[in-house]
């Protein structure tokens, strides 16, 4: 299948008072039309920075990117500013974690949708308003004809996120980046929103990059998953492979950290330590200081090895058998 979005060797640098630091290193990621790909990792692993870099939303005064993000034959990272503005919202869209603060509190939701339509298409106000009601119907907002006049604070969190999705998809973009779209929602609403994203992606052939720290969300929604740690992809494979037979100790650790009913009498697992700060990255494997399988060889830089349609950034993956989701279940 043709790639809708192909990110190649993306690196992101930030200027800080202490000098330039690298937040994302050499990241590659491909999403096909109609496919939902997960990007998982802890807070601080660089997922959101990756998304903002692809969208060109990082402040240029303090950041710099290299690599490419191909949307069809256009490289978003090399696009002239005015053409990038036109591509955003029309060819590639993004939804955010907190739908309350992500919507403009001072404008009616109908107007927030129609202005998006009119920014990209020469249509009348009337046609744009009709389009707004139709997309709100598509995202399952009850009573859309009346709700267009509502302000964001008059809607629940789940409804606001539906509105965000409507805004993002109203121009039927080829690619949607969803950055923790369900993190701030109730579990039941979370499942509805994920279901909606999957349904819309299938119906319109939208390629979706789903960013989350929750492998449970990935398991429910995605076909493939990229695990990200400290600014690098450490593992890339199908969701089944990742869950059943992870090859990177970090992916395995994330799986162990999912609370599960059958482990209810045991203490919750957490990966010891935290993501290293950008100013103090280990020179070898970046996960090495926190890894229970670390050995002398891990002090060297680890390349991302590709084999059999999956990739892993761990020199010891051949010798390790790591626990996945199944190993926690009583066998």
Partner 1 sequence: MRRLLLERAVWLVPTLLLATFGVFWLIHLAPGDPAITLAGENATARQIAAIRHELGLDQPFLLQYWHWLTHAWRGNLGTSLNTREGVAGAIGHALPVTLQLVLGGLLLAAVLGTIAGIVSARRAGTSTDAAVSTLASAGAAIPSFWLGLVLISMFALGTHWFPATGSVALTSNPGQALRHLVLPSIALGVSGAAEIARQLRAVLIDILGSDHIRTLRAKGLSERRIVWLHALKGAAVPLMTIVGLQVSRFLGAAVVVEAVFGISGIGSLVVGAAQNHDYPVVEGVVVVMALIVIVVNFAVDVSYRIFDPRIR
Residues that bind partner 1 (CB under 8 A): 55, 57, 61, 85-90, 93-94, 96, 98, 101-107, 115-116, 119-120, 151, 153, 164, 167-168
Nearer residue to partner 1 within complex by CB, 110 or 324? 110
Nearer residue to partner 1 within complex by CB, 6 or 115? 115
> Which residue, 194, 128, 131, is CA-closest to 165?
194
CA torsion sign for 197, 201, 204, 209 is positive
In the chain, what is the greatest distance between 2 CA atoms, to the nearest angstrom?
A: 67
Residues 89 and 258: their CA atoms lie apart, in Å, by: 34
Residues 152 and 160: their CA atoms lie apart, in Å, by: 7
Instruction: Please state the closest distance from residue 106 (CB atom) to partner 1, in A.
Output: 5
Nearer residue to partner 1 within complex by CB, 52 or 233? 52
Nearer residue to partner 1 within complex by CB, 180 or 236? 180
Residues 4 and 49: their CA atoms lie apart, in Å, by: 20
Nearer residue to partner 1 within complex by CB, 152 or 246? 152
Instruction: Please state the closest distance from residue 329 (CB atom) to partner 1, in A.
Output: 40
Instruction: Please state the closest distance from residue 62 (CB atom) to partner 1, in A.
Output: 10
What are the two backbone dihedrals, phi and then psi, of residue 236, each rounded to the nearest 5 degrees?
Answer: -140, 125
Q: Judge whether 180 and 7 are in contact, CB under 8 Å.
A: no
For the chain, the C-alpha Rg in angstroms (whole number) is 21
Instruction: Please state the closest distance from residue 167 (CB atom) to partner 1, in A.
Output: 6
Which tokens sit at 68? 């490419």
Nearer residue to partner 1 within complex by CB, 46 or 276? 46
**H or E element at residue 207:** strand 207-212
Which tokens sit at 176? 């949607």
Instruction: Please state the closest distance from residue 115 (CB atom) to partner 1, in A.
Output: 7
Instruction: Please state the closest distance from residue 322 (CB atom) to partner 1, in A.
Output: 37
């Amino acid at each position: 299948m043709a790639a809708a979005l192909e990110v190649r060797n993306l690196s992101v640098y930030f200027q800080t008072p202490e000098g330039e630091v690298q937040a994302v290193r050499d990241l590659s990621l491909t999403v096909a039309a109609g496919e939902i790909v997960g990007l998982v990792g802890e807070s601080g692993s660089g997922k959101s920075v990756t998304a903002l870099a692809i969208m060109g939303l990082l402040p240029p005064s303090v950041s710099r990117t290299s690599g490419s993000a191909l949307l069809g034959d256009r490289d978003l990272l090399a696009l002239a500013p005015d053409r990038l503005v036109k591509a955003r919202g029309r060819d590639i869209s993004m939804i955010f974690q907190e739908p309350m603060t992500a919507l403009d509190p001072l404008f009616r939701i109908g107007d927030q949708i129609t202005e998006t339509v009119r920014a990209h298409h020469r249509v009348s106000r009337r046609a744009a308003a009709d389009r707004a009601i139709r997309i709100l119907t598509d995202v399952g907002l009850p009573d859309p004809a009346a709700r267009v006049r509502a302000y964001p604070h008059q809607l629940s969190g789940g409804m606001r996120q539906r509105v965000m999705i409507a805004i993002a998809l109203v121009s039927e973009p080829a690619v949607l980046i969803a950055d923790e779209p369900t993190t701030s929602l109730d579990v039941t609403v979370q499942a509805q929103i994920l279901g909606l994203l999957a349904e819309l992606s299938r119906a319109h052939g939208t390629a979706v990059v789903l960013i989350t720290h929750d492998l449970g969300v990935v398991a429910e929604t995605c076909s493939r998953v990229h695990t990200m740690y400290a600014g690098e992809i450490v593992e890339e494979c199908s969701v089944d492979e990742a869950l059943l037979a992870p090859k990177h100790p970090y992916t395995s650790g994330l799986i162990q950290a999912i609370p599960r009913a059958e482990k209810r009498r045991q203490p919750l697992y957490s990966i010891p330590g935290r993501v290293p700060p950008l100013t103090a990255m280990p020179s070898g494997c970046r996960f090495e200081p926190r890894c229970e399988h670390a050995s002398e060889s891990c002090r060297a830089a680890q390349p991302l090895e590709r084999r059999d349609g999956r990739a892993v950034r761990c020199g010891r993956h051949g010798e390790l058998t790591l626990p996945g989701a199944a190993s926690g279940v009583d066998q």
